Structure 1
């Protein structure tokens, strides 16, 4: 029996071995097939090896760093912070700070030190060595990359000592300067993120730092008017999202860019070659997908059955009518929003009522500060650019502020500054209450009634910075062989958010053309935040440089207003009949100015002046005045410039004397690309002034030519005052004329009284 069992076991083992031998080739074949599948996946659209990119960020480019002075630390200001941000689709594998600093030669070595923190975690403590005193020192600080997140803060703490006996913590010999030449080195990897629209606007727009966004715009073919409008609405929304960091929209027609994220507009019958197999849609859709053949780049596909549906998709996206969840969202219903009212841009203050300082803040605790010498409190205030200010205009301000009680010795004060101009300094009284004080601040002139004061408005601009700088005096004294250590405490200062500023008494009235306010505020197109009275004309919609300038311009205006151009009209190469229908619109022209707009004599003078300026490039012979003869103007300049020359031109619309034309023209595609680069907000040093500005590279020249006109609503008596203000001799003659008329009237009135009295006397005598 036992032998039979042994025999059965041997047979079973032999059978298992035989089965394994027979299945080995099949297993090897399956393993090979699996390996080939993995290789195929790796060689397809996704690449598993992520490239590391080394980024060098100059210290001067970090937030809160003075571009020239760097960071200055002292006994009174021993702590300073700087910030940097990382995109959400990036990961930092290695980070270090190449620090250059200069310590005071009066410091005691070793006891004096500099501590560096990253996001609250101490990274390195640097002792001040004897051989480093008074010299520029270099130090490498390696950061722990695991604690780096989207928003990061580098904190510098300076501990300075200059004597062993009776040390004054606010002595001026205690200082350390961190150079703006320091460099933050980051090794970053661009991660492949999931196709999920819930993360929008990430990764298409950079909303976390001041680095500009670059998003390519793709069309299947030369876009028609509806497609242009859809892309324009989307482009302006990108400007709103990126705010002052800026965004650039390179344009490609049926072509993929070399790298980077992109947005593509397609319809069922118009698809680029790389999306020719994309399924047809029945309703407007928005989808997030991988860019073919790239490692981590994403594309936003805006699709619709027809081009009108593309407009609906863009408007739904910008208005938040789409539920973003997963890779694909459908626009089932477009909720129409009411058109905007004049001058109600979200980034402009409301001039129809008193505005509180709390409504001007962007982050918590912006209206407070603390420290031995508190940092100035700054508030940004954007005004409509056409507010009518004249000599003697004043703005009502009701200011409430709180401050820690200052020392009885010395003078402490609060300085009120507008755009770096000192308006008024006011003493902080030691006997005042320390909790909160309501003060009536006389800024110019005497104290006004009803707890209000007046600010001279001559320093006001479309973009303004209001600064409240609290200065505390500190006095320390000591005697020989006697020393009392006194540790100064942090002072706390606050501006009450209920403080108000009032612009309700001002009219909207300004002289045109004025490219300066177009550059700073998008005026006059920005009168309506949704650009409902703006028409953009693209001379050649097949020219990608003109489309690039169009989208960058609308993004700039969107960032300045804080609202997308939902109702802008966009026309590509319009006919004369289409242009005639634009009499109620301000016109934004890209490329060659249409012939119908050049038939006006004033327009010809301005455009001819611009042509001469472009032809002479930036020679010393740039004309300052021009012949007023009507000339045939061709804006396709024959003379080409190697780097491209562009120009901004503004003149009164020939279709309506109350409307304005702003044209962006150039001598070549390179010149238009240069205009597009300069239109990126905060990423160009050029600026526009007058009625014509010529730009080459980052250099611009401006001059005035053509007729002037006025936009706005000003009562007749204010218009008379405006005329008299510019003509003092006329005012003098008018005063003399009024005096003569008054004297004549009074003479006749008195003569009439005299006759009546004499008549009464005569009647009495006869009785």
Structure 2
């Protein structure tokens, strides 16, 4: 009887669906996308609301779909087209939609200086062949508005499909969200909402294509950092630096301060600073000019003090120039510091800086993007949005927290990093295998079972049921193994809850399960001292250490040629931008020196950027360098000696120690290297040199630090195209400060044979002393 009733309902549903499809086909415009114009050429049941027919991906690429060719139409004059994949938008593994109402989001942005002429969602996906077509579909939302419903056909189940869905430009803003919701059913009878056949996978190669036109913005300093940086644009940054003439070292310092600021606000984006001298690029740019070095074609009055201006690029009215202007280089440094530190007070098209007092020097290890190591830190301090600590569903995405640490933390023989973990969750209705697991850098740390309501086996803590939201609170003391901690860490919490159903036809399970990590949970790195073996280029590649030990770079000197060329300047600015990205704050206290100012190298960590003059300086230091590169000459040498490589966070040195005792070769080929060694001027100070045989080689090292970070170790990283090989050939030294007892134990631990010999000698000496004492005591007794 029940089967007959279900079949009747199914027959009635099919009849109603067919009648609806007939009326839709008879209507003039058919079924249309909300807010979009009708699309010609839609046919049959394969047509999506406002989209194109679903076809296998290979066929779509071959042009089998007539509507798919619309996306290949060249953009109209004056417009530019941008294609970005879901992987580039942060969904590197795509979206995995599971259950009867699985959903996933993808966020994308539109720059403030651009207007969207047209937009398209090119969706690549597949779905379970077990889904019932008449009851299952994929809903597409744009900014919480339903824009399309994609039907599931039986014959396309399990195939890679391609849909192209127009996006209404009127619905787009600076920040946009595409949400995909799976409505899935696999049976007409009572079903399990968590059944394994309820799935749809969205490919990370799905794309959002936008055609934009430039907008002319007003000249207003209050808009900064727009248009040079737009937080809605997730692409890498390119901010041209323009100079009226060959910049002096003081002007380079002013531009370097701006570079650290741009790198800091760029966050995860790579930032490059192409250099122009005397010419204006066809992009938004930042210009550095004095009264004596004005830019040709840029008509501006002379100034009587540090000045910031926002002006129109004479070559293109839609482009802006931020002009940092002054009477001399000192004024430029003042104006640059006003830009990076007092941006909130800037407005209008021009601002003259009457007075500026810089902040005092920053203490060590206080970079805003680094976890504090002098006190316990609340997890709420490590996220931008409190919602990042919450999750919903029975198998939600892990809650992830980024932990950036100083690279020189000594983790040797540490019992672990303590974490006072507080978390809340919807309690299971009865005891089961629901759990919460803790991992760091995708390495398992600990798992805890989630208790049912009212259950408790832990007498040391009280479980409080929060009546307001129906969740249960719990608290654990976790110790993260110190050897699992590196400079860059991802701390994750994975909740896994088991749904409960008393029978096949019980009430439907929803995503009512909630879980959260309390913001006042703490993690404490204050027990780890600062002590590390150097040189270690993985520290430099990972966080800019040792230069970024002081976020304002107060103990750093940049060494370059007296008259640096464009490639050398871009290398310096890009490296300083990487420092700002690591610390999250601008730097203004570094020095810029030329290779002849060796007397000022004392008590400084040196960043040497290799032009011709820098190569000559490195040659004079060649006895302690693993590699020296000139335009035609390469000198490579090693100084074998034991080293540890297990003492500090992230210092597992996967660098080869195989190398020649010495090799002197002549070559015309391109070669570049990143070299680390102890400063010949001051002991326990570091030198990192970017050395190359050509200008392009210098920039390839900067790119390798971003894209091949994991391949950079030891004291020498040779960059040849897209390949990087690392070596350890030179002497090592130690930086940091620990107690004398810890220092002795640490260094002796790497020489177990020596420790054994010392122990034997000590035992022998004690035995001799005891033997002598016993002999004297026996002699006294005999005398009596």
When the two structures are superposed, what TM-score results if normalisation uses the length of structure 1?
0.83
**How many matched pairs?**
676
Q: Secondary structure at the match of 2:301?
A: coil
Distance across 2 between alignment mates of 1:415 and 1:552: 39
| Shift, 1:727, TM fit | 1.3
SS at match of 1:415: strand
2:572 is aligned to 550
| Range that drifts further, 196-205 or 366-375 | 366-375
Tell whether 2:160 aligns with 1:136.
Answer: yes
In 1: Cα distance, 2:343 partner to 2:87 partner: 41
Superposition pairs of residues 269-284 of structure 1, within 5 angstroms: 269-275=292-298, 277-284=299-306
The answer on whether the counterparts of 1:511 and 1:708 sit within 8 Å (CA) in structure 2 is yes
Match of 2:339 among 283, 298, 317: 317
Contact 1:615/1:639, CA 8 A, preserved across alignment: no
* Aligned 8 A contact 2:633 2:667 in 1: no
> Among residues 421, 428, 435, which one is paired with 2:443 in the alignment?
421
Whether the 8 Å CA contact 1:248–1:677 is kept in 2: the answer is no
SS of match in other structure, 2:118: strand
Aligned to 2:370: 348
Q: 1:750 to 1:345 in 2, by over 3 A?
A: farther
Question: 1:501, 1:79 → 2: CA distance?
Answer: 32
Separation (CA, whole Å) in 2 of partners of 1:333 and 1:322: 16
Deviations 1:2-39 (A, max 9, x none): xxxxxxxxxxxxxxxxxxxxxxxxxxxxxxxxxxxxxx
Which residue among 603, 606, 610 is the counterpart of 1:587?
Answer: 606
Give the corresponding residue for 1:523: 545
Question: In the alignment, which residue of structure 2 is the partner of 1:654?
Answer: 680
Partner of 1:371: 393
Partner of residue 645, structure 2: none
Does the aligned pair in 1 maintain the 2:633–2:666 contact within 8 Å?
no
CA distance in 1, matches of 2:774, 2:630: 62
2:69 paired residue number: none
Q: Does 1:387 align with 2:403?
A: no
1:88 equivalent in structure 2:
112
Partner SS for 2:318 = coil
Q: Which residue of 2 aligns with 1:35?
A: none
Residue 119 (str. 1) matches residue 143 (str. 2):
yes
CA-based RMSD? 2.7
How many angstroms does 1:699 deviate by?
A: 2.0
Of 661, 664, 674 in structure 2, the residue corresponding to residue 627 of structure 1 is 661
The question of whether the paired residues in 1 share the 8 Å contact of 2:115 and 2:212 is answered with: yes
1:682-741 Cα distance to aligned partner (Å, 9 max, x none): x66774221111213332111111111111112221111112221121222233333334
- Cα distance in structure 2, aligned partners of 1:211 and 1:660: 33
TM-aligned CA deviation for residue 386 of structure 1: 0.3
Structure 1 distance, partners of 2:660, 2:425, is: 59
Name the residue aligned to 2:480.
455
The alignment status of 1:52 with 2:75, answered yes or no, reads: no
Matches within 5 A, 1:2-13: none
From 487, 505, 516, the equivalent of 2:509 is: 487
- 2:246 corresponds to: 222
For 1:562 and 1:381, the matched residues in 2 are separated by: 13
Separation (CA, whole Å) in 1 of partners of 2:240 and 2:215: 19
Kindly state the Cα deviation for residue 488 of structure 1 after the two structures are TM-superposed: 3.7
Q: Secondary structure at the match of 1:397?
A: strand
Q: Name the CA distance, whole Å, in 2 between partners of 1:254 and 1:221.
A: 6
Whole-angstrom CA distance in 2 between matches of 1:124 and 1:608: 59
Secondary structure, in 3 states, of the residue corresponding to 2:268?
helix
CA distance in 2, matches of 1:162, 1:613: 67
- Which region of structure 1 is more displaced relative to structure 2, 692-701 or 153-162? 692-701
User: Aligned partners of 1:428, 1:686: CA distance in 2, in Å?
Assistant: 37
Task: Report the equivalent of 1:265.
Answer: 288
SS at match of 1:718: helix
**SS of structure 2 residue aligned to 1:238:** helix
Q: 1:194 to 1:425 in 2, by over 3 A?
A: same
- 298, 303, 308: which is aligned to 2:330? 308
Could you give the per-residue CA deviations for residues 160-211 of structure 1, whole angstroms, max 9, x where no partner exists? 0000111110100111111222221111112111111100000011323421
Deviation string 1:523-560 (CA, Å, 9 cap, x unpaired) is: 11111100011111122534100100000000011000
Q: Distance in 1 between matches of 2:777 and 2:478?
A: 48
Q: 2:538 & 2:307 partners in 1: Cα distance?
A: 40
Task: Say which SS state the counterpart of residue 82 (structure 2) adopts.
Answer: strand
Distance in 1 separating the partners of 2:344 and 2:473: 47
3-state SS in 2 of match to 1:399: strand
- Find the residue that maps to 1:588 and give its secondary structure: strand
Q: In structure 2, which of residues 610, 620, 642 is the aligned counterpart of residue 599 of structure 1?
A: 620
In structure 1, distance between residues paired with 2:174 and 2:351: 27
Q: Distance in 1 between matches of 2:779 and 2:421?
A: 61
- The structure having more radius of gyration, on CA atoms, is 1
Give the Cα separation in 2 of the matches to 1:439 and 1:734: 50
1:233–1:315: 8 Å Cα contact kept in structure 2?
yes
Distance in structure 1 (CA, Å) of the matches to 2:630 and 2:294:
43
Cα separation, 2, equivalents of 1:322 and 1:493: 38
- Distance in 1 (CA, whole Å) between partners of 2:369 and 2:749 is 32
Residue 294 to residue 154, structure 1, CA distance change in 2 (3 Å): same
Any conservation in 2 of the 1:610–1:649 contact (CA below 8 Å)?
A: no
Gaps of 5+ in 1: 1-48, 442-451, 617-621, 632-636, 763-767
Distance 1:235 1:249 in 2: 8
Partner of 2:214: 190
Residue 727 (str. 1) matches residue 737 (str. 2) = no
**Structure 2 length-normalised TM:** 0.82
Q: What is the SS of the residue equivalent to 2:437? A: strand
What is the CA distance between 1:315 and its match in structure 2? 1.1
* CA shift in 2, pair 1:496/1:208, >3 Å: same
**CA–CA distance in structure 1, aligned partners of residues 777 and 176 of structure 2:** 87
Extract unaligned runs of 5+ from structure 2. 1-75, 457-463, 638-655
Does the CA-based 8 Å contact 2:244-2:288 persist in structure 1? Answer: yes
CA–CA separation in structure 2 for the residues paired with 1:199 and 1:119: 25
Classify the secondary structure of the residue corresponding to 1:738.
helix
C-alpha separation between the residues in 2 aligned to 1:299 and 1:758? 103
Tell whether 2:583 aligns with 1:561.
Answer: yes
CA contact (8 A) 1:267 1:307 kept: yes
Aligned mate of 2:98, from 70, 74, 90: 74
Are 1:466 and 2:491 matched, yes or no? yes
2:30 alignment counterpart: none
1:98 aligns with 2:117: no
1:403 equivalent in alignment to 2:416: no
Distance (whole Å) between structure 2 residues aligned to residue 596 and residue 358 of structure 1 = 48
Question: Is the 2:308–2:350 contact (alpha carbons within 8 Å) kept by the matching residues of 1?
Answer: yes
- Indicate if the aligned counterparts of 2:129 and 2:157 stay in contact, CA closer than 8 A: yes
